[in-house]
């Protein structure tokens, strides 16, 4: 114990049960003594400060000083840090120590549990979940922590059947934004469009909602009502949509047809709405059907396709590429990985190919489009794609929750980065707002009509047909 002087101010660090119990005189050796105590970090202890220069304030019945004395400690503590810093020799910045930082985190959690006003909100589970949610959301919009319920929902997404509204959303400049409504879904049938901004869910603002929390609110019991307050940037219109949750059965390959003849060419058309487990097999079946009808060339429509499973996208590209062709590769903290096509039954599909893309073609769509473009297998028509080309690895945690973490970025075979750049078309063709609304309305009509209803033409599709006709004419001329 240090000798006491009447001229000294006293500080006690440590409540009963803490390892450190010491009195610190404020004098020339203060920085060294303070540093020694600070380097001996232990579980949180409540400090207290003497009110005068001669006697320390006695603790109350619980062994702790009155709370109003704690405040002065926080004014003195920075001075101790500053003095200690000046007293030490200049040194290199310390390494990022996991032990020290975990001590800080544990200290903060204990302080919250000890002092936060609402005790029901400070269970270790709640605090650790929120800490992980905050850590991941601070990295990028696609990294996230998933509670067990959210992890289970994510797994259901890839099985082609789940309950919800069928609206694919993302955070765009901090705003919850619709990437694309899934066809055959309540959101699609209600007329929600890509680019619509969701301002409220059931009257609750989405401004401070994480992406995962927003998705959880959109999903729920089948038959339940959900009201979305939507802002449409093109018209500045704000409107409420009342939707009913339903089982979403995703048929990812649609509208396989021979388009109306132009100059005798038989141009096929097929549309992929997203990439899930059966997509490649469904596409192969559709292409076999069109080939039996004498198809000379194909339009592959990836507009409004938000992506899906990477292996499914690679297998779709493999329908048009030789075996063992690299479709995409990744670069990140882990070693680079290449995704290559697999062997498939039947002859190689060598007919001319045009791929339709637009601003809502994302992720898997961009992988397919980028590969077919770089490998000179297809001509891209439309608009530059969304630019979502990062790899999210999902790692399950012991309690059934999971971490969805961005671990790499995708590059096309030509070493072009997809993320935040997108894939640009060979031939630019855009739709006006009215033409886009008409296109999506025509798709809704097709869903309600018979299965073999013909595809309605639009300016981008017509441009793709022109390109293919020119390609067929050139090939015929060459002999």
Point out the residues that are catalytic.
363, 374, 388
From residue 295, alpha-carbon distances to 317, 419, 439, 451, 468 in Å are 19, 35, 24, 20, 12
Kindly give the interhelix angle for 310-317 and 364-374, rounded to the nearest 10 degrees: 30
Q: What share of the chain is helix, strand, coil (3-state, %, to 5)?
A: 35, 25, 45
> CA nearest 329: which of 360, 289, 300, 371?
371
Q: Which SS3 state, helix, strand or coil, does residue 140 take?
A: coil
Q: Which helix (H) or strand (E) holds 166?
A: none
- Integer angstrom CA distances of residue 89 from 77, 84, 471: 20, 10, 74
DSSP letters for 62-108: TS---HHHHHHHHHHHHHHHHHHHHHSPP-PPPP--HHHHHHHHHHH
Retrieve residue 289's tokens. Answer: 């059907």
CA 476 to chain centroid: 47
The span from the first CA to the last CA of the chain, in angstroms, equals 101
Residue pointed to by tokens 């030789």: 322
Rounded-to-integer distance, Cα 258 and Cα 256, Å: 7
């Amino acid at each position: 114990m240090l000798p006491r002087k009447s001229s000294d101010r006293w500080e006690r660090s440590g409540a009963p049960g803490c390892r450190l119990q010491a009195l610190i005189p404020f004098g020339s050796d203060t920085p060294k003594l303070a540093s020694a105590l600070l380097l001996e970090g232990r579980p949180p202890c409540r400090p207290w400060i003497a009110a005068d220069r001669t006697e320390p304030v006695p603790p109350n019945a619980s062994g702790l000083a009155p709370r109003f004395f704690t405040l002065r400690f926080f004014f003195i503590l920075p001075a101790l840090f500053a003095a200690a810093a000046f007293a030490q020799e200049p040194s290199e910045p310390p390494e990022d120590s996991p032990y020290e930082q975990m001590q800080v985190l544990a200290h903060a959690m204990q302080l919250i549990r000890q002092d936060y006003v609402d005790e029901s909100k400070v269970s270790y589970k709640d605090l650790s979940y929120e800490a992980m949610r905050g850590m991941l959301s601070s990295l990028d919009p696609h990294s996230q922590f998933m509670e067990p319920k959210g992890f289970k929902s994510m797994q259901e997404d890839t099985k082609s059947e789940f309950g919800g509204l069928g609206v694919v959303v993302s955070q765009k400049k901090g705003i919850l934004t619709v990437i694309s409504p899934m066809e055959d879904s309540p959101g699609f049938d209600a007329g929600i469009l890509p680019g619509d901004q969701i301002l409220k869910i059931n009257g609750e603002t989405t401004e401070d909602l994480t992406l995962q929390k927003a998705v959880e609110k959109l999903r729920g019991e089948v038959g339940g009502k959900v009201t979305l307050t939507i802002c449409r940037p093109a018209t500045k219109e704000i409107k409420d949509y009342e939707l009913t949750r339903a089982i979403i059965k995703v048929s990812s390959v649609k509208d396989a047809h021979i388009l109306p003849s132009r100059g005798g060419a038989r141009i096929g058309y097929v549309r992929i709405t997203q990439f899930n487990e059966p997509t490649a097999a469904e596409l192969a079946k559709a292409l076999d059907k069109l080939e039996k009808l004498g198809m000379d060339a194909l339009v592959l429509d990836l507009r409004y396709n938000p992506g899906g499973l990477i292996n499914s996208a690679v297998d779709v590209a493999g329908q048009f590429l030789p075996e063992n062709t690299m479709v995409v590769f990744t670069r990140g903290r882990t070693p680079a990985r290449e995704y290559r096509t697999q062997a498939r039954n039947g002859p190689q599909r060598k007919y001319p190919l045009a791929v339709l893309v637009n601003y809502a073609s994302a992720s898997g769509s961009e992988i397919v489009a980028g590969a077919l473009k770089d490998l000179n297998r297809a001509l891209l028509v439309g608009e530059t794609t969304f630019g979502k080309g990062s790899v999210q690895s999902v790692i399950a945690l012991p309690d059934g929750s999971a971490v969805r973490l961005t671990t790499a970025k995708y590059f096309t075979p030509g070493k072009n980065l997809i993320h935040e750049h997108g894939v640009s078309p060979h031939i630019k063709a855009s739709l006006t707002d009215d033409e886009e609304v008409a296109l999506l309305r025509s798709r809704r009509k097709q869903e309600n009509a018979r299965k073999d209803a013909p595809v309605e033409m639009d300016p981008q599709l017509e441009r793709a047909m022109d390109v293919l006709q020119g390609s067929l004419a050139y090939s015929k001329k060459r002999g």
